[in-house]
């Protein structure tokens, strides 16, 4: 059967689908009900991120609860892409999440009245090729489903918080230095000018001297930002914005900057670095708010690319990705 979905990747048909919950008097941060959800997954996510930014919360600059990235309790897999930030910012101490049915399958249940958090995943569908009638092509579609933290459930057993960090014996700083030392096909890293940058033309990262940073964590988060940029080099992930030297201020440049910000957050989290609460300048937040409102797909797509960038730095390039994974119910 040929499925003809209404939302297609690459087209911005859902730009106005944010028709929006607040106008209907529903609360986003509290969660979603089936009836209140707009049809476009990009808007489901973007609306929520916008609401966080408007409250002064930058989801990619928040430490993960308990130092652990969010995971699905049934599969044990880490959530990826934008889901990591959506779940981590929710304020629960436990990193473990389940769907409604997964809670039931484990002999427990979601407490009455608890609000879900949306997570997105990619699903490949066969659709008719518009250019060649009668021919099918595979197209990725963004879908979402809803999950609950185990703290919102009763009788759902989960590992204790802090039991799965995997950093025992290593300090976060040692782990971070190890990531830098073992990055595959690394760029040249030099210390010279007192500011951090990545230059695609020479494939060089410049870092200020370590003494100029208040702490080791700050040094590595900055270095991770530049290393995330470097993954865009044509010899690595060949990402528009780095490979084609996008002009400062362009849309591609904005996306690349967000990729580096979120890529650094994934890497810091993977090392167990708990970022100090960074003072988020109002202008920083205002800048991202405008860009997210102008481009409803920016956050989801940049987060997916940031995940790939972090995977590359960690030597997981080409590893199985579960962003296409279905809820598993």
Q: Quick one: tokens of 292? A: 């997210």
Minimum distance, C-beta of residue 130 to Zn ion, in the bound complex (Å): 37
Classify 141 as helix, strand or coil: strand
Which residue lies nearer to Zn ion by CB, 65 or 223? 223
Which residue lies nearer to Zn ion by CB, 58 or 260? 260
Which residue lies nearer to Zn ion by CB, 168 or 283? 283
Minimum distance, C-beta of residue 218 to Zn ion, in the bound complex (Å): 15
Q: Which residue is nearest to Zn ion (CB)?
A: 260
Which residue lies nearer to Zn ion by CB, 137 or 188? 188
Number of Cβ atoms within 10 Å of the Cβ of 251: 14
Which residue lies nearer to Zn ion by CB, 176 or 260? 260
How far is 317 from 308, CA to CA, in rounded Å? 7
Minimum distance, C-beta of residue 265 to Zn ion, in the bound complex (Å): 13
DSSP 171: -
272, 175 Cβ separation under 8 angstroms: yes
For 244, residues 6+ apart whose C-beta sits below 8 A from its C-beta are: 252
How far is 206 from 197, CA to CA, in rounded Å? 5
277, 294 Cβ separation under 8 angstroms: no
Instruction: Give the residues lining the site for Zn ion (CB under 5 A).
Output: 260
Minimum distance, C-beta of residue 232 to Zn ion, in the bound complex (Å): 11
Which residue lies nearer to Zn ion by CB, 140 or 186? 186
Minimum distance, C-beta of residue 189 to Zn ion, in the bound complex (Å): 15
Minimum distance, C-beta of residue 82 to Zn ion, in the bound complex (Å): 19
81, 304 Cβ separation under 8 angstroms: yes
Which residue lies nearer to Zn ion by CB, 44 or 262? 262
Classify 292 as helix, strand or coil: helix
Which residue lies nearer to Zn ion by CB, 44 or 301? 301
DSSP 25-80: T--STT-B-GGG--S-HHHHHHHHHHHHHHTT--GGGSPPGGG---EETTT-PBP-
Minimum distance, C-beta of residue 25 to Zn ion, in the bound complex (Å): 39
Q: Compute the C-alpha angle 46/47/49, nearest 5°.
A: 65
167, 101 Cβ separation under 8 angstroms: no
Residue 73 half-sphere exposure, CB side, CA atoms within 13 Å? 26
Minimum distance, C-beta of residue 257 to Zn ion, in the bound complex (Å): 5
């Amino acid at each position: 059967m040929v499925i003809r979905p209404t939302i297609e990747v690459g087209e911005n048909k859902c730009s106005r689908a944010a028709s929006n919950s607040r106008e209907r008097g529903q609360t986003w941060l509290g969660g979603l009900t089936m009836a209140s959800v707009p049809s476009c997954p990009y808007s489901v996510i973007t609306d929520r991120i916008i609401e966080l930014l408007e409250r002064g919360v930058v989801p990619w600059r928040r430490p993960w609860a308990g130092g652990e990235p969010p995971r699905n309790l049934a599969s044990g897999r880490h959530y990826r892409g934008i889901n990591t930030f959506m779940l981590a910012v929710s304020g629960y101490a436990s990193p473990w999440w389940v769907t409604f049915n997964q809670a039931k399958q484990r002999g427990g249940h979601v407490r009455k009245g608890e609000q879900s958090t949306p997570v997105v995943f990619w699903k490949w569908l066969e659709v008719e090729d518009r250019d060649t009638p009668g021919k099918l092509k595979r197209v990725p579609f963004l879908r979402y489903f809803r999950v609950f933290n185990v703290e919102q459930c009763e009788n759902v057993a989960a590992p204790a918080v802090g039991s799965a960090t995997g950093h025992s014996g290593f300090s976060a700083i040692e782990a971070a230095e190890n990531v830098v030392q073992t990055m595959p096909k690394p760029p040249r890293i030099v210390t010279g000018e007192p500011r951090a940058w990545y230059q695609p033309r020479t494939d060089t990262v410049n870092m200020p001297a370590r003494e100029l940073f208040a702490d080791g964590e700050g040094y590595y988060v900055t270095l991770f930002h530049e290393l995330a940029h470097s993954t865009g080099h044509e010899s690595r992930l060949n990402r528009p914005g780095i490979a084609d030297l996008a002009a400062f201020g362009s849309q591609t440049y904005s996306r690349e900057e967000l990729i580096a910000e979120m890529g650094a957050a994934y890497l810091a989290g993977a090392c167990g670095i708990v970022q100090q609460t960074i003072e988020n300048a109002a202008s920083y937040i205002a800048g991202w708010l405008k860009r997210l409102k102008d481009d409803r797909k920016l956050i989801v797509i940049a987060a997916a690319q940031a995940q790939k960038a972090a995977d590359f730095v960690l030597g997981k390039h080409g590893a199985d990705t579960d962003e296409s994974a279905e809820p598993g119910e």
